[in-house]
Chains A and B, each alone.
Chain A
């Protein structure tokens, strides 16, 4: 359970989040939509305490992230996988070491065999060849880096996953693979996810609910169906561009609540 109540955040005199209320239930996948620069990444960083709110509360798993002592915060963070928008891979370590650092459990991380198997498994999940493991981040393409970032985030088998645009910059095939990975983690392991995305089609496919961040507030939150039928001006505007495509897809799949199209 992730719960934000009245979270405000400004940088200098720029108010980015204005008393945001936002909640994600256990086992749910929520897609967070919003135009560029609206504060989606900022919101996501509040959830694992990389940013602290100016006011308001962030509660994850019943723990108030804002007032958590260091040790508990570290413990909580190890249960929350975070996929950075630009990868944020450790560039002095190779892919293997990067993903291995994602294995947060101490005993597992000390077991070389386990680590090797887990890294290989994670690479496979994000559709990367096993020989990528020995490469350095600088030797990878943008999309490959993004997927290594995802592999690192899931390596520690977190219960929560925060994806910051996991599919942007990926070709349609790999974007679909990542979308279904999100669905698979949810179904098989009950992972709770928030996915920031510009890919409305992908969002409709994997998310149980969608949220739209606009001018510092969540102005709409609901199922894909709610969104399709929303009368809210900002929502309609946001969906406009992808509207026809999304609607035709939605009609094709209707009945299915849009969890996983494939």
Chain B
């Protein structure tokens, strides 16, 4: 409120400082989590319940997204292909883009909205209604009771959901390719096999694992540190979804650079 002059340096500085403090506090939280892992009797059953909940709840939307993404990729690839390129190349492109990029990234972005928003809102509400303090006041660790189960459940589930997404995406891709590319089943399979390497599947899984961490850890942190009533919870929820989504895109680029080059 002191002055209204717009000095870009100030904003950059403030942004850098606040990011640094977030990174510091997230690292501290991660350390606490690693310590809390010993209390598996507390977090394991909760994680299982949550995983069940999220898994079934997200399966439909994840598969729906993947189905559309697969079909559209096929149609667009067909549109771009000319007769001079062998048609099985197209199959390779479709399958690879789904497994390497669309399956993991789209699933993660959808789940950032679904799981991330939910976690941030849950923990934020618990924070502002003093439920987290209440847990601590009983000598119980809020990290072991609330955060580890959520992070474990999400991080294990995202790769599983990505597998479902990729299978459905490739299936619908094949279905659409039949008409858009006029490709035979044998050609499609040949193309897919020709370009596919086992490492691709590993890469997709590693990626999904990190996306899972981003989707759960960031919202848990945001909710955990929420302030001041309903507005604070709202803010925590939106910033959780935004931050998790940005982090997914950033990780996507980073992991591609690190693992595929």
Interface residue ranges, A against B (CB under 8 Å): 45, 48, 50, 70, 73-80, 82, 84, 86, 88-92, 101-102, 104, 152, 156
Contact = CB atoms under 8 A, between A and B. Distances in A.
B119 to A, nearest CB: 13
A156 B129 contact: no
Main secondary structure of the interface of B (DSSP, over half): helix
B131 interface: yes
A92 B134 CA distance: 14
A77 B136 contact: yes
B137 A77 contact: yes
A82 B137 contact: yes
A156 B131 contact: no
Contacts of B140: 74, 101, 104
B139 interface: yes
Contacts of A74: 139-141
Contacts of B139: 73-79, 104
Interface residues of B, number: 14
Main secondary structure of the interface of A (DSSP, over half): loop
A77 B122 CA distance: 24
B142 to A, nearest CB: 11
B23 to A, nearest CB: 22
A104 B138 CA distance: 7
A80 B134 contact: no
Contacts of A156: 138
B138 A88 contact: no
Contacts of A89: 131, 134
A252 B134 CA distance: 39
A74 B122 CA distance: 24
A78 B126 CA distance: 20
Nearest to B130: A88
B246 interface: no
Contact of A80 (B129, B131, B137): B137
Contact of B129 (A76, A77, A88): A88
Given A48-B137, A77-B137, A91-B129, 13 more contacts: A73-B139, A76-B139, A77-B136, A77-B138, A78-B138, A79-B139, A80-B137, A82-B137, A86-B130, A88-B131, A88-B134, A101-B138, A101-B140
Contacts of B16: none
Interface in B113-165: 122, 126, 129-131, 133-141
A136 to B, nearest CB: 13
A103 to B, nearest CB: 9
A88 B130 CA distance: 5
A158 to B, nearest CB: 9
A76 B137 CA distance: 9
Interface centre among A73, A88, A91 (most CB of B within 10 A): A88
B141 to A, nearest CB: 7
30 contacts: A50-B137, A73-B139, A74-B139, A76-B139, A77-B136, A77-B137, A77-B138, A77-B139, A78-B138, A78-B139, A79-B139, A82-B137, A84-B130, A84-B137, A88-B130, A88-B134, A89-B134, A90-B134, A90-B135, A91-B129, A91-B131, A101-B135, A101-B138, A101-B140, A104-B138, A104-B139, A104-B140, A152-B134, A152-B138, A156-B138
- The list of the 8 closest CB pairs from A to B, nearest first, reads A78-B139, A77-B139, A88-B130, A88-B134, A82-B137, A74-B139, A50-B133, A104-B139
